[in-house]
Each structure stands twice: as C-alpha cells, then as structure tokens.
Structure 1
Amino acid sequence: MTLLSKVIKAKRKETGLTQEDLSYKSGIGLRLIREIEQGKTTMRVDKVNQILSLFGMELVPGPKPRNHE
C-alpha cells in the first residue's frame, strides 16, 4: 500500500464515506477509487487531486520521504 492510498483511505473513513460515496462526490470512477486504495502506483495527478480536494488537500511536489515503502 502506498502512502497516498493510506491517506485517501484514512480520510474517506474519517469522514464516514464509503468508496461508492467518494466516487460519486469526487466524480471519479469507483474502479479507480478501489485501485488507488489498493496501492495502484500509476495514475493521473488531476484525478488524484479531484479526490483529495474533497478533504481540503492536494498533491504537490515535495521531498521524497526516506525509508518509505
């Protein structure tokens, strides 16, 4: 599981949303929501930001974390 997938899944659960709810509210397909939460490593940044925007977040460049799997 990637850091991004952990964040999205945690935020979704924190806000009480199902994957279906997140799909509907973000306008992103349910399949992609599921793939991201399962650790998909290749995806479009604009789609990720569509999801993250629901939580007041966005994907931005930053230093690569050390010792991250």
Structure 2
Amino acid sequence: MQSANIPSKQVKAIRKQYNLTQIELSKKSGVGLRFVRELEQGKQTLRVDKVNQILNQFGSEVGVVQINIT
C-alpha cells in the first residue's frame, strides 16, 4: 500500500467517531492491537485482509481502483 497514510488517517478518524479505543477496535475486528497501531501510524506494508477486517466494522473495505496510465 504505497499511500498507507491516507487509510491510516481515515481509520483513526472513524475509530474516534465511533468512540472506540485501539484496544476495543482490535477486539471487535479480530486483529491484534499491534496491527491496529501500525495501521494508524501509517506503516507502509500491511496485510490487506487484516485492513479489511478493521474496515468491515465500519461498512468499508480496500479494493482495486482504476487509474489512468499514460
């Protein structure tokens, strides 16, 4: 994920909007606390399936986006 900082900011903002701690989100989504922290800190390499486990809690997921190649 080359632009991991964008999803990380979104996940953190959504988590706070739902008044969840990182620990609560970790337990609710079934991923480790360390992964949640790394995601929110913008780690450049992340497992997409785990990112989706977290995003699914908020009705979203990571997917393929068409881009223009010139």
What band does the TM-score fall into relative to the shorter chain? 0.7 to 0.9
* 1:26-63, Cα deviation, whole Å (9 max, x unpaired): 00000110011011110111000000000000001114
Divergent runs of 4+, >4 A: none
- Equivalent residue number for residue 30 of structure 1: 33
Give the TM-score, by structure 2 length. 0.86
1:42 corresponds to 2:40: no
Structure 1 gaps of 5+ residues are 65-69
Aligned length: 64
Give the TM-score, by structure 1 length. 0.87
- Give 1 or 2 for the bigger CA radius of gyration: 2
- Equivalent residue number for residue 67 of structure 1: none
Give the percent of matched residue pairs that are identical in Structure 1 and Structure 2.
56
Q: Distance in 2 between matches of 1:30 and 1:45?
A: 16
How large is the Cα RMSD of the aligned pairs? Answer: 1.3
